[in-house]
């Protein structure tokens, strides 16, 4: 009996051992099928177990939960209970549930950059009745070493890469605090503006084995707008963008996060100012406009060596009335100050008014040029004070005296001031005397005009009038100013 009992005991152990040993080769992992519904990702892991032994497997179950230091559930999983009779095959499905609503980008970023203790609870059970039952459990704090601990992006340095791009080099450092994962591979960065338009991109090669410190440079090639806007051209400013950084991870795809980034933009034409224009005579058709242009080139990487073209338009009519140019040489960090000289047509079509009246002439000056391949343009309003060349024209009393049988000689005092800053009144002045009904009754002698800007002319016009017209109380005097820049007739009423 003792021998039989020993045989039974050994036989029981052998049956259990054979059940486990014979079934072990028939344990296989099936196709893992992820299923994402709304915010919940379910991953079914089928484990097929072929029970080739003599005893049944019962109550096979598994349970797992992983929580972060704030108690947020990161991963949950469970499967079973399952019974597999002897000689049959069943599939044990372990369902891992990840609620992505819980795992926000901030949480993911936190896991990647902050080392912390994760709480693990796991259990595994099963039995081969009546011989063996097994219950395993694990719980505790699992130290999660962040693979990107103390991730820092340093102050960027700027340099010119080519005519269209700036190279922004940003130092990147972190500690791979993970004892399990190495970080290796290329990382990338995309810089987008407020409209989501990509304005820059760059790469970085990372090789950070477990528990090592990484330090490298992230090179961002920043596209400068081909047409610099006025704000970029003239004003120092802070450019705000979103940097979308994707760093290599450990077989789980890249770890990406976005971070606002700011670049200090130093304008190449900072403080651009167009001084009050001074005008001077140029020729019979144009006057010369000179205006002081000044600015400071704050840009550390744009050296200005360009020709600025200026085109002047009449604000009212919109037609081009002048042009000018200026060669600018302003290396980085220098102050520029020089006169822009342009030539503007005399407003001859309005001379009948402008010869006798002061006015303000309104122009628009359009500036344009190319600086290191970057084209720019800007507009400035230009106001020119026009002083009338024949201002305050006054006439005295017409004096008549006997001359011959048909005509009497006349004398007429007149005066005006040349109020123009640059135009002299040179030419001839002829006159015609009319009755109020328009009948011509006399002519004036030709008078030579030579009045400098700012000078006053006060003299007598002489001429002849028909005898029969003498004695009228009033006459109309037509004055014909013939100058190099035009011929203008002015009518004046005379009282005898």
Partner 1 sequence: MPKILDLELKGSSLALRVVTGIIAAGITFFLLYYLPANFLSLLGQLVPAQALPDPSILNTLLSSLVNPSLPMIGLLLTVLVFLECLLRGSKAYGPILIISGLSFIAYLYLLFHGGTMTITLPASLLMGISAGVAVDLTVIMLLFMLPSLLTIIKGAVLMTKKSGP
Q: Which of residues 169-228 bind partner 1 (CB under 8 A)?
A: 179
Structure-token pair, residue 350: 């309005």
Structure-token pair, residue 136: 């395993």
Interface with partner 1, residue 401, by CB under 8 A = no
- List the beta strands (DSSP E) in 129-209: 132-144, 149-153, 157-160, 165-176, 183-192, 198-208
Which CB sits closer to partner 1, 143 or 403?
143
CA nearest 417: which of 453, 460, 461, 459? Answer: 453
**Burial of 376 (C-beta count, 10 Å sphere; 0-12/13-18/19+):** buried
Which CB sits closer to partner 1, 12 or 93?
12
Least separation in angstroms between CB 17 and partner 1: 11
For the window 14-33, what string marks contact with partner 1 as x by the rule CB under 8 A? --x-----------------
Interface with partner 1, residue 335, by CB under 8 A = no
Q: Are 96 and 43 in contact (CB under 8 A)?
A: yes
Which CB sits closer to partner 1, 18 or 192?
18
CA nearest 239: which of 258, 223, 262, 220? Answer: 262
Interface with partner 1, residue 280, by CB under 8 A = no
Least separation in angstroms between CB 28 and partner 1: 24
- Looking at the DSSP bridge assignments, the partners of residue 445 are none
Interface with partner 1, residue 239, by CB under 8 A = no
Among 39, 88, 104, 139, binds partner 1 (CB under 8 A): 139
Interface with partner 1, residue 403, by CB under 8 A = no
Q: Are 24 and 47 in contact (CB under 8 A)?
A: no
Neighbours of 45 (CB within 10 A): 17
Backbone angles phi, psi at 350, to 5 degrees: -110, 20
Interface with partner 1, residue 12, by CB under 8 A = yes
Least separation in angstroms between CB 22 and partner 1: 18
Least separation in angstroms between CB 64 and partner 1: 12
Which CB sits closer to partner 1, 144 or 386?
144
Least separation in angstroms between CB 236 and partner 1: 53
Please state the length of the chain.
Answer: 496
Least separation in angstroms between CB 155 and partner 1: 38
Among 31, 37, 106, 130, binds partner 1 (CB under 8 A): 130
Structure-token pair, residue 385: 């004070």
Question: With left for phi above 0 and alpha for psi between -120 and 50, is residue 156 left, alpha or beta?
Answer: beta
Task: Give CB contacts under 8 A, 24+ apart, made by 31-39.
Answer: 39/99, 39/100, 39/101
DSSP, residue by residue, 76-119: EEEEEEEEE-TT-EEEEEEEEEEETTTS-HHHHHHHHH--EEEE
Stretch that binds partner 1, among 5-13, 78-86, 224-232, 389-397 (CB under 8 A): 5-13
Which CB sits closer to partner 1, 179 or 186?
179
Stretch that binds partner 1, among 19-27, 120-128, 433-441, 477-485 (CB under 8 A): 120-128
Least separation in angstroms between CB 12 and partner 1: 5
Interface with partner 1, residue 405, by CB under 8 A = no
CA 169/CA 297 separation, integer angstroms: 22
Interface with partner 1, residue 275, by CB under 8 A = no
Among 29, 30, 85, 142, binds partner 1 (CB under 8 A): 142
Least separation in angstroms between CB 172 and partner 1: 28
- Looking at the DSSP bridge assignments, the partners of residue 335 are 296
Interface positions with partner 1 (CB under 8 A) = 1-3, 5-6, 8-9, 12-13, 16, 120, 122, 127, 130-143, 179
């Amino acid at each position: 009996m003792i021998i039989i009992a020993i045989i039974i005991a050994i036989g029981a152990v052998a049956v259990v051992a054979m059940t486990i040993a014979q079934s072990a080769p028939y344990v296989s992992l099936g196709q893992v099928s992820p299923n994402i519904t709304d915010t919940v990702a379910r991953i079914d892991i089928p484990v097929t177990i072929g029970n080739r032994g003599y005893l049944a497997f019962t109550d096979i179950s598994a349970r797992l939960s992983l929580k972060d230091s704030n108690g947020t559930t990161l991963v949950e999983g469970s499967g079973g209970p399952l019974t597999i009779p002897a000689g049959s095959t069943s599939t044990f499905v372990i369902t891992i549930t990840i609620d992505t609503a819980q795992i926000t980008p901030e949480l993911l970023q936190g896991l990647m950059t902050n080392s912390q203790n994760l709480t693990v609870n796991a259990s595994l059970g099963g039995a081969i009745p009546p011989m063996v039952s097994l219950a395993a459990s694990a719980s505790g704090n699992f130290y999660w070493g962040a693979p990107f601990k103390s991730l820092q992006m340093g102050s960027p340095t700027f340099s010119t890469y080519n005519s269209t791009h700036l190279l922004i080099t940003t130092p990147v450092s972190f500690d791979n605090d993970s004892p399990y994962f190495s970080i290796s591979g290329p990382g990338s960065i995309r810089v987008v503006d407020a409209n989501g338009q990509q304005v820059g991109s760059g790469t970085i090669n990372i090789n950070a084995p477990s528990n090592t410190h990484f330090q490298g440079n992230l090179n961002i090639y920043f596209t400068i707008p081909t047409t610099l806007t006025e704000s970029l051209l003239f004003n120092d400013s802070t450019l705000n963008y979103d940097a979308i950084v994707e760093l290599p991870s450990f077989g789980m795809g890249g770890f990406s996060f976005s971070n606002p980034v700011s670049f200090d933009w130093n304008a190449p034409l900072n403080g651009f100012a167009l001084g009050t224009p001074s005008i001077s005579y140029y020729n019979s058709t144009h006057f010369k406009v000179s205006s002081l242009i000044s600015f400071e080139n704050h840009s550390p990487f744009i050296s200005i060596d360009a020709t600025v073209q200026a085109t002047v338009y009449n604000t009212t009519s919109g037609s081009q009335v002048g042009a000018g140019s200026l060669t600018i040489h302003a290396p980085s960090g220098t102050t520029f100050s020089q006169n822009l000289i342009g030539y503007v047509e005399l407003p001859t079509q309005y001379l009948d008014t402008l010869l006798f009246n002061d006015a303000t002439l309104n122009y628009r000056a359009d500036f344009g040029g190319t600086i290191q391949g970057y084209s720019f343009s800007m507009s400035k309003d230009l106001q020119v004070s026009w002083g009338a060349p024949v201002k305050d024209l006054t006439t005295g009393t017409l004096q008549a005296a006997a001359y011959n049988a048909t005509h009497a000689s006349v004398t007429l005092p007149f005066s005006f001031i040349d109020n123009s800053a640059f135009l002299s009144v040179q030419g001839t002045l002829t006159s015609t005397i009319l009755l109020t009904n328009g009948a011509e009754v006399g002519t004036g002698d030709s008078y030579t005009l030579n009045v400098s800007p700012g000078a006053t002319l006060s003299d007598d016009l002489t001429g002849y009038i028909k005898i029969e017209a003498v004695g009228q109380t009033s006459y109309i005097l037509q004055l014909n100013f013939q100058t190099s820049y035009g011929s203008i007739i002015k009518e004046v009423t005379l009282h005898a």
